[in-house]
Amino acid sequence: MADRKFHIAEWYGDPFHELADTARVVRAAHVVGGSAMKKDELDRLAVLEQKLAETSLTAREAKRLDVLREKLSKQNEDELPCPFKAGRDHPVCTKKGGVCSIRLYEDSGNQIEPVKGDQGKIRSLCPWRFHQGHVAFAEIGKSLLGTSDPVEVGEVGFLESTGSLDSEEGKDVGRIDMVLLKLDKDDQSLLDWVAVEVQAVYFSGKRMAVEFDDIANRQGKLAMPVLGRRPDYRSSGVKRLMPQLLTKIPTLRRWGKKMAIVVDWAFYHSMGQMEQTKHISNADIAWFIADFVEDPVSGRYQLKIVDEIYTTLESATLGLTGGIPVAQGDFEARIKAKAGLDRLL
């Protein structure tokens, strides 16, 4: 049987296995974030540019604008763009290593290529991957709000601290990833909204820098990865996503609101079976399942929503757990076996 391992699927937005050898070498040597501007700096730059276009700046503002323009120039020179940060000015990749996603490859002895079929599906490592072209948010808006052009508001404070050793009372301690708004076209008043969580997958295994060194040593030639690593759905689902749902959905339920969750096809199908509801009115969660389809023109992968599934919070919790409890007798037998008691009886 051919050797199979997970390796980079998309690297700074481009299909890894289709890159030229020289392009792989350049990416392997790139260090992310050294010249990346902070969000508040980009926001301030936009404000000052707008003010300059409409009126004049104070001496202090003009000096600040010069500094920010110089920073932007250095960012554009040193950083690589992120093609998935839809709607952002000057989007650059800030994810260490720049690996957007991974997939399963196989070495048949003659060539190295992505595995075909469901096991070969792309697994997204970066939440920004789901922002491509606003496609997912347009689908959520159309389905849950009745508009395919919702207003997107990112990272909205949802939980406030009651005061503790390390946080002041009233400080944000939990946020909703994205809130989509439906506004009245005439007076821009808020008609409806829906909360959105986006969940990529973590991976288990050694850091990717090992592979970058190998790529450089091979002068970019395509090869199987040096070390094994796998998508860690346990950490991503049970340890990260499930606490988010248990914390936020009870309040949303009391408010009469739904939560939309965007995951990729492989993530959803790595979970245990969940009982589905036929209509959103009987559900707490709408799962929007994304897949990545190759564009025949650009060669890049385009996000597409391929399924929409409704569940309750309780059903989702069971699915994320990915199993059912054993019988008490079986569990106690395992305890005895672990403790060596079965040999004494």
Q: Please give the pLDDT value at position 146.
A: 95
Please list the pLDDT of the chain residue by residue as tens digits (345 residues).
Answer: 578 999 999 999 999 999 999 999 999 999 988 898 988 999 999 999 999 999 999 999 999 999 999 999 999 999 999 999 977 888 999 999 999 999 999 998 888 999 999 999 999 999 999 999 999 999 999 999 999 999 999 888 887 767 666 656 656 557 898 999 999 888 888 889 999 999 999 999 888 999 999 999 999 999 999 998 999 998 899 889 999 999 999 999 999 999 999 999 999 999 988 999 999 999 999 999 999 999 999 999 999 999 999 999 999 998 888 767 789 999 988 988 888 876 654
Q: Please give the pLDDT value at position 342.
A: 65
DSSP 3-state of 197:
strand
Q: Please give the pLDDT value at position 321.
A: 84
292, HSE (Cβ side, Cα atoms, 13 Å): 26
What are the phi and psi torsion angles at 199 (to 5°)?
-130, 115
Give the DSSP letter string of 230-261.
EEEHIIIIIIIIHHHHHHHHHHHHHHT--EEE
DSSP 3-state of 165:
coil
Strands 229-232 and 202-205, bridge-based pairing: antiparallel
Question: Tens digit of pLDDT for each residue in 262-313?
Answer: 999 999 999 988 999 999 999 999 999 999 999 999 999 999 999 999 999 9
Question: Tens digit of pLDDT for each residue in 181-226?
Answer: 999 888 888 889 999 999 999 999 888 999 999 999 999 999 999 9
Where residue 299 falls (left for φ over 0; alpha for ψ -120 to 50; beta otherwise) is left
Q: Please give the pLDDT value at position 175.
A: 86
pTM of the predicted protein model: 0.87
- Mark 80-97 as b/e (b = at least 16 C-beta within 10 Å): bebbbbbeeeebbbbbeb
